[in-house]
Amino acid sequence: MPRRLETIAIIASEECKHGLPEGRRKSWFHVREFLNLHYEMLQRFAIISTDGTAEILDETTRIRQGSHRLSFVPLKVKRIGPTARGVSRLAAMVAEGEVGRVLFFQDPRDLEMDKPENYALLRNCDLHGRMLCINESAQLWAEYEEAKGKPLAQRAPRITGKETVALIAHDGEKERMALFVQRHRQLLGRFPRIVATSGTKVFVERFLEKIHDECDRNDFMIQPLGKKPRGAKRGHGPAGGDVIIADEIYRTFEGLSDKRKRRLLGPLHHILFFMDHKHSQPHEPDIRVLLRTCVNPELRVNLILNSQMANEWIKRYERRVPAQSIPRRLRAGDPKGFDAATLRAS
């Protein structure tokens, strides 16, 4: 009996389907280039797609079939309807557990994250712990999938001297973020710079202080956020922390020379954004600004939206530094070891 293929979804905004002329397209947000680059790897999956994107998938299959007639394996594509209806149906499929990963390609001239159906897709992927890989994240996932057959030393990505990791967690997700940081603090410490909104920074640092007898905290430091980090909680999310991070993403990219921009091969920022979709947030406009900034592919951001995505991302680097064990009393929520509610309120 043949093995059932894992199901993924591929959707793309209009500019990503056509967009730039041939030769100028970029694989991390133009879906045609992505398909040409990773076609063999995608044959291992069952693919669902909205009608417009499915046409690009079918067209790529026909072109490949013409040049690889003897050993050709077509992509297995299922259509789920036109754009708005298809994305709404995809969000429902994510909620029902039928799809575990969504590859979403957006063009900088055609950012659609604010459309209700797209935001519903993002929310349900986050709420149910599914993988929503937008632009840069999709490219990084594809590269790692293709490297799975290689020796471990060859497939682990390198940490460059320019990458920033930003930590953002709503109140309901701060404990999850702290546990993630504690487990991977040595590996995270290899990145040149780590920043966080002030609430997340304080929570994580107090968490590490609470368990200082189980770990050495000298290998991990979160830098303050913003030009004037002291006073008035300037980096706090509801007080503008999210838009400060969005502004920093732009400033980092704008500070590169044109030559450096053309030669940029990977992300400038890894944004770990653990959102709490079960409660309304008073700074919703700021959150949407940050999300729109992160999905702009020109800015080269790897957007990580939940702990499942974070764990998958960090495991790619574990050849260099192994994960740390989490003390059992913390996993069990022993109030003598760690009281999240008290720590959050302090």
**pLDDT digit string, tens, across residues 91-138:** 999 999 999 999 999 988 777 777 889 989 999 999 899 999 999 999
| CATH architecture of the region 157-345 | 3-Layer(aba) Sandwich (3.40)
Mean model confidence pLDDT for the chain: 82
Instruction: Read off φ and ψ for residue 29, nearest 5 degrees.
Output: -145, -10
Q: Where are the alpha helices (DSSP H) in 229-339?
A: 241-254, 258-263, 284-294, 307-315, 328-331
Residue 80 has a pLDDT of 95
Q: Which residue has the higher pLDDT, 135 or 217?
A: 135
**Spatial distance between the Cα atoms of 94 and 54, rounded to a whole number of angstroms:** 18
**pLDDT tens column, 47-63:** 999 999 999 999 988 88
DSSP 8-class letter at 218: G
Flag whether pLDDT at 81 surpasses 60: yes
Map out the domains of the chain as residue ranges. Answer: 6-146, 157-345
Residue 331 has a pLDDT of 47
Least trusted range by pLDDT, from 155-159, 202-206, 220-224: 155-159
Flag whether pLDDT at 334 surpasses 50: no
Q: In this structure, are residues 94 and 121 in contact, taking their beta carbons and an 8 Å threshold?
A: yes
Residue 323 has a pLDDT of 54
Flag whether pLDDT at 346 surpasses 50: no
Q: Which residue has the higher pLDDT, 221 or 339?
A: 221
Three-state secondary structure call for residue 73: coil
**pLDDT tens column, 306-318:** 999 999 999 888 7
Residue 216 has a pLDDT of 54
Q: What is the mean pLDDT of residues 300-326?
A: 80
Flag whether pLDDT at 344 surpasses 60: no
Flag whether pLDDT at 219 surpasses 80: no
Number of other residues whose CB lies within 10 A of the CB of residue 309: 25
The CATH T-level fold of domain 6-146 is Rossmann fold (3.40.50)
Residue 1 has a pLDDT of 46
Flag whether pLDDT at 15 surpasses 90: no
Q: Which residue has the higher pLDDT, 124 or 323?
A: 124
Flag whether pLDDT at 218 surpasses 60: no
**Topology agreement, domain 6-146 and domain 157-345:** yes
Highest mean pLDDT among 11-20, 88-97, 223-232, 261-270: 88-97
Q: For residues 185, 186, 188 and 191, what is the CA-based torsion angle, rounded to 10 degrees?
A: 150
Flag whether pLDDT at 181 surpasses 70: yes
Q: What is the mean pLDDT of residues 223-241?
A: 61
